[in-house]
Amino acid sequence: MLHHTLRSLWLWRDRQRRGRKLLRRVRSADVAVISLGKSGRTWLRTMISHLYHQRHGLPSETLLNFDNFHNLVPAIPRYFFGSLAADRLAPSGRTWAREVGNANKLILLVRDPRDVVVSFYFQLSERATSRALRRKGLESGDAVRQMPMAQFMLDDRLGLPRALAFVDAWLAVVAVHPASMIVCYEDLRRDPLSTFTAVAPLPRPRL
């Protein structure tokens, strides 16, 4: 009982701390790139980083991380990369959809949900840290490995229902945002040049 109470308290404090940090970043971001985990966000972030490496001579081993490039070159926008659930409440009491909607540009990165869920399964079962697992309500990677893949795919918290609900909620936000776009992971793989060219004309940072 005590262990369960302490664990619940840790999770609550961890969520509060992370939520406040995310809110600060979201509110000052020029560009918000939203995607469910395992949708290719790191790959897209690497491509955008390389663009600025080439344009501004920034160190090639450094990846874009919110405002680190902006601090070196003020002309570079501040980027928020995240997987916030659109209908979940931010620490402000408003939904993340409303908070992210204030960004100058909104990019929704999507991928075939079946591939997302399979990749997520192996992330949780083989590579996730204990901290990351606790945030998902899982005791260990063994708890995931003991689940048949079909069961994982259909799980409301971890599988296809979660992935589809996440994207559907953000599609509604994209539909009303004045400067938004949808980028498909499969299009980036199939035709990276033309797909990334559509992403590349990026907005000027906020003054």
Tens digit of each residue's pLDDT (9 = 90 or more) over 151-170 = 999 999 999 999 999 999 99
* Three-state DSSP class for residue 34: strand
pLDDT at position 165 is 98
Closest CA to 83 of 18, 137, 10, 130: 18
Measured CA to CA, the distance from residue 80 to residue 108 in angstroms comes to: 12
Q: Evaluate if residue 203 carries a pLDDT over 90.
A: no
pLDDT at position 11 is 61
Measured CA to CA, the distance from residue 127 to residue 141 in angstroms comes to: 8
Q: Which two tokens stand for residue 156?
A: 């409301």
Domain-located, residue 207 = no
> Looking at residues 23-39, what average pLDDT do you find?
96
Q: What is the CATH number of the domain that holds 150?
A: 3.40.50
Domain-located, residue 14 = yes
How confident is the model over 82-130, as pLDDT tens digits? 999 999 999 999 999 999 999 999 999 999 999 999 999 999 999 898 8
Question: Angle at the Cα of 84 (from 82 to 86), degrees rounded to 5?
Answer: 135
How confident is the model over 59-83, as pLDDT tens digits? 999 999 999 999 999 999 999 999 9
Domain-located, residue 206 = no
Domain-located, residue 40 = yes
Q: Evaluate if residue 172 carries a pLDDT over 90.
A: yes
Contact 97, 88 (CB under 8 A): no
Number of domains in the chain: 1
Domain-located, residue 142 = yes
Domain-located, residue 204 = no
Burial 175-194 (b: 16+ CB within 10 A, else e): eebeebeebbbeebeeeeee
Measured CA to CA, the distance from residue 166 to residue 37 in angstroms comes to: 11
Task: Identify the domain containing residue 70 by its residue range.
Answer: 2-199
pLDDT at position 124 is 93
Question: Angle at the Cα of 97 (from 91 to 103), degrees rounded to 5?
Answer: 95
* Three-state DSSP class for residue 89: strand
For the chain, the average pLDDT equals: 91
Domain-located, residue 205 = no
Measured CA to CA, the distance from residue 21 to residue 36 in angstroms comes to: 19
Contact 62, 49 (CB under 8 A): yes
